Structure 1
Amino acid sequence: MPTVLRWGPYRAFFYSADSAEPAHVHVRNGDMEAKFWLHDLSIAVNVGFRPHEIGSIIRHLRAHQPDLMDAWNEHFGN
């Protein structure tokens, strides 16, 4: 699970077994986790985050979207 971004209580990472799926990132804070598609930063799965937190996370991911895509491509060899 390579961590690709940290801010505040959040950690963005990839599961190495997810290479067959479209580019995405998981974000965790404690026992809450969400999965975001990187092409449009839509939410794929949310376990525990409140809507206002999701909005804040998406804004932060958007600011780093090119770097996240680069990290995906580097990690998965695309």
Structure 2
Amino acid sequence: MAPTVFRQGAFRFFFFSREEPRMHIHVSHTDGEAKFWLEPQIELAMNQGLSKEQVSEALSLVQHHYEEIRNAWHIHFGN
């Protein structure tokens, strides 16, 4: 299960239900995908195929939607 938190432009931001407990968000795009840690600070954890510009845009969206992502995490994972 991979619930979508939000979509913006060509990006989809989502969680995998059975993955590590450290808070993070996955980002998919037609060109590739990335993963961002949310704690202890927002940072890129993995990138496969996205350009520097796409990673920067995704990072900006994660920062802008941080509270929404965090709330969705707690609702989905119950912690």
- Fold conserved between structures, TM > 0.5: yes
* 1:17 match: secondary structure: coil
CA contact under 8 A between 2:24 and 2:35: conserved in structure 1? yes
- By how many angstroms is 1:31 displaced? 5.1
Q: Which residue of 1 aligns with 2:3?
A: 2
Paired amino acid for 2:26: H
Q: Which residue of 2 aligns with 1:23?
A: 23
- By how many angstroms is 1:67 displaced? 0.8
In the alignment of these two chains, the number of paired residues is: 77
Q: Distance in 1 between matches of 2:70 and 2:8?
A: 18
Structure with greater proportional helix content: 1
CA contact under 8 A between 2:31 and 2:50: conserved in structure 1? no
TM-score, scaled to structure 1: 0.92
Deviation readout 1:3-57 (Å, 9 max, x if unpaired)? 0010001000000002x42100000012511000112220111000111111111
Give the RMSD, CA atoms, in angstroms.
1.1
Alignment of 1:30-69 (within 5 A): 30=30, 32-39=32-39, 40-69=41-70
TM-score, scaled to structure 2: 0.91
Q: Distance in 2 between matches of 1:48 and 1:74?
A: 30
Q: Which residue of 1 aligns with 2:77?
A: 76
Q: Distance in 1 between matches of 2:18 and 2:31?
A: 20
